């Protein structure tokens, strides 16, 4: 039996980059990895059983079965953050499942190659585009080249150990957004500009400012979200909206906040790891 912890990932801004090869399809952008996420346990079994994000685990098993004899697998996800709210849970479940299967079956592949299967599952389900490569890596991640971990490229912004305060209001259906070509044109134009700017000035404050500008320019900031961002901006280094969710995140030197019903996490610098 193998257990894998995969931290959640909050995208601040992004740009979708298409490609005929789904391993080379993905997103560029920037986001923060946090120390709350998904612990996935995988065990060979006489019957496949999934206890957790079934749609994701089933897709990962289907994808890996195209290349290896996976047999029957028991998968259990222990999910420590809300699903569908911009915290990269689908990516974390996919990555934990893929790494867990690879390790449990002792497949002759690297961690990156196992993670490639998770990326494939995300892209085929339209549940994510850049979370897997970020969640594998940890930290404050700039995705400079799209794709699965064996194809994409990331840079990191060096930051100290800080708190991430998260206020979840509601879900957003990621696949619906990723199918909306008109909206994606707007997102990509703005996301591309933000990426150029963060590469000129790769700092935490600039990440937060660019993320906040991005969220306003793609019209995702409702009056309710703005009110919470205003409070967070008073109390933290800065805040923005988690893509894609009705979720506000603020990065802070302390866990103190006047907001109620929040998730308090810390930046995770390690990334996905076998427990």
Ligand X SMILES: Nc1ncnc2c1ncn2[C@@H]1O[C@H](COP(=O)(O)OP(=O)(O)OP(=O)(O)O)[C@@H](O)[C@H]1O
Task: Compute the chain's Rg from CA coordinates.
Answer: 18
**Residue with smaller CB distance to ligand PAF, 2 or 140:** 140
Q: Does the protein bind ligand PAF through residue 137 (CB under 6 A)?
A: no
CA distance 75 to 43: 7
User: In three state form, how does the secondary structure of 39-87 look?
Assistant: EEEEEEECCCEEECCHHHHHHHHHHHHCCCCCCEEEEEEEECCCCCCCC
Reported residue count of the chain is 275
Among 22, 29, 37, 128, binds ligand X (CB under 6 A): 128
If the CB atoms of residues 215 and 257 are measured against ligand PAF, the closer one turns out to be 215
Binding partner selected for residue 89 from ligand PAF, ligand X, none, CB under the kind-specific 5 to 8 Å limit: ligand X
Exposure class string for 155-175: b at 16+ Cβ within 10 A, else e: bebebeebbbbbbbbeebebe
Separation between Cα atoms, residue 124 and residue 30, nearest integer Å: 22
**Minimal distance in Å, beta carbon 254 to ligand PAF?**
27
Does residue 247 touch ligand X according to CB under 6 A? no
* Count of residues that interact with ligand X, criterion CB under 6 A: 16
Alpha helices in the chain (DSSP H): 54-65, 89-104, 111-125, 131-137, 174-178, 181-200, 204-217, 223-235
Structure tokens at 139: 């930290």
Under the binding rule (CB under 6 A), the answer on residue 169 touching ligand X is no
Given candidates 29, 31, 86, 100, which one binds ligand X under the rule CB under 6 A?
86
Cβ neighbours, 10 Å, residue 43: 15
Interacting residue with ligand X among 127, 215, 236, 240 (CB under 6 A): 127
* Binding status of residue 272 toward ligand X by CB under 6 A: no
Comparing CA positions, the residue from 30, 41, 271 lying closest to residue 143 is 30
Binding partner selected for residue 53 from ligand PAF, ligand X, none, CB under the kind-specific 5 to 8 Å limit = ligand X
Out of ligand X, ligand PAF, none, what residue 84 binds, judged by CB under 5 to 8 A for its kind, is ligand X
Among 131, 215, 241, 265, contact with ligand PAF (rule: CB under 6 A): 131
Confirm or reject binding of residue 244 to ligand X (CB under 6 A): yes
Least CB distance to ligand PAF at residue 11 (A): 3
Residues that bind ligand X (CB under 6 A): 53, 55, 83-91, 127-128, 174, 244-245
């Amino acid at each position: 039996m193998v257990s894998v912890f995969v931290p959640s990932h909050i995208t601040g801004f992004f740009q979708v980059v298409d490609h005929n090869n789904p391993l080379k399809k993905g997103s560029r952008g920037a986001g923060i990895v946090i120390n709350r996420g998904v612990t996935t346990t995988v065990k060979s079994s006489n019957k496949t059983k999934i206890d957790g994000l079934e749609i994701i685990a089933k897709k990962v098993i289907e994808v890996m079965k195209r290349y290896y004899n996976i047999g029957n697998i028991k998968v259990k996800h222990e999910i420590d953050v809300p699903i569908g709210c911009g915290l990269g849970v689908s990516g974390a479940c996919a990555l934990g499942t893929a790494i867990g299967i690879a390790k449990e079956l002792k497949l002759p592949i690297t961690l990156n190659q196992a993670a490639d299967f998770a990326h494939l599952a995300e892209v085929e389900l339209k549940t994510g585009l850049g979370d897997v490569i970020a969640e594998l890596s940890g930290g404050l991640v700039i995705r400079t080249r799209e794709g699965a971990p064996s194809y994409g490229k990331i840079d990191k912004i060096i930051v100290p150990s800080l708190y991430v305060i998260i206020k979840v209001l509601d879900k957003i259906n990621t696949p619906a957004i990723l199918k909306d070509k008109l909206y994606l044109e707007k997102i990509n134009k703005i996301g591309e500009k933000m990426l150029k700017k963060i590469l000129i000035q790769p700092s935490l404050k600039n990440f937060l400012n660019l993320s906040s500008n991005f969220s306003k320019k793609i019209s995702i900031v409702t009056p309710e979200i703005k009110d919470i961002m205003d409070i967070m901006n008073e109390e933290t280094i800065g805040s923005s909206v988690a893509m894609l969710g009705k979720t506000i995140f603020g990065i802070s030197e302390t866990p103190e906040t006047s907001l109620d019903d929040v998730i308090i996490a810390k930046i995770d610098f390690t990334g996905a790891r076998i427990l």
